[in-house]
Structure 1
Amino acid sequence: MIRFKAKQDRIPMSEISERRKYQRVEKTIIIRFRIKPQKGQALAPSDWDMVGVNDLSARGLFFNSSYNIEIGAVLDLRIGFSTSTVPVKCKGIVTRVKKNPDTSIFGIATAFTEIEEREKEMVDRFVNATLNSSLTAMQFQTA
C-alpha cells in the first residue's frame, strides 16, 4: 500500500507541467465516490455518488460535483476504466475545491492517499495509453 501526504502549498500552474512525476489525461471517466465516515458513523451503499472525472493521473484526479466537499475530507474512490475490468479501489484526500461562479457545481481536486502499487500502475498505464492513442489520432489527422 502506498500512502501519500497531501501538500497544502499552492504551486503555480506554469511550474506544474515540469514538476509532475506522472502524466495526466483530460478524459471523462466515470467514478464512484463517497465521503469516508468519521469514527462512529456508518454509511449505506446508497451513499455512493457517481461522477465523471475531468483529469486523471496516478497521483490523483479532478471531478465536478454538486456537493461542496471540504478540503481535507477523505474519500473512498472506485475508478472504472471499462465494464470489463474490476474498478481501482483507493482513498484520496480533497486538496482543492473551486466553485463554478455560474452554476452550483464545485470542482474537486483529490490526491490519492492509499492506493495499491498494482492499481497505481493500472491508472498510469491507462493514462499513457490514452495519451498515446490521442497523439496517434492527431498525427493521423494531420498526415
Structure 2
Amino acid sequence: MLRQGKSKQEIVDWIESNKLKVNHWFTIDSLEHLKRGGRISATSAAIGDLLVVKPVLIVSNDGSLNAVKRIRGRKKSIKTLFEEFKARAIKPEEQMIYIAHGDCLEDAEYLKSLILSEITPKDIIINILGPIIGTHTGPGLVGVFFLGKER
C-alpha cells in the first residue's frame, strides 16, 4: 500500500476495517501435536488417527485455533480448504492468496492447483509455516489465507 502512495494512517485504517475479514483455514495431517499440546485428549487423538480424521481449523477472533470440521482423508481435507476459500473469498481474482505448509510442499502445491483450476488470483504465494503455529500443529499443516467474509 505504501508503494501505491497510501499514507500510514490510510494503511492503519484499512487494516482496522479489514482485520476480521482475514480468513485463516488449516488442516493437519496428524492429531499427535494437538494431543501433546493438550488441545485434545489422547483417546480422541488415537481414535481420530485410526479413522483418518483430519480436522479443518480456523483462527478465531481471539487468536485461538478452533476445529470447525472433521474430514476423513487428507485429500478431502485439502479440498475442503478449497471449498471454504471459494465460498468465503471476496473478489479472489483481485487478491494475493497465501498458502502455508508445515514440511508438506506437495500438499500446498495441490491446494494451489485446486485454486488455479477455477480462479485466477493476482498471485498465490506458498511459504513454509512459522514456528509458533507449527509448534502446536506439527508437520503436515496446510493453510490458506485470504480476504473473505467476516469471521
- Which structure has greater helix proportion? 2
Q: TM-score, normalised by structure 1?
A: 0.26
- Which structure has greater strand proportion? 1
Question: Which has the higher relative contact order, 1 or 2, with Cα contacts under 8 A spaced 6 or more apart?
Answer: 2
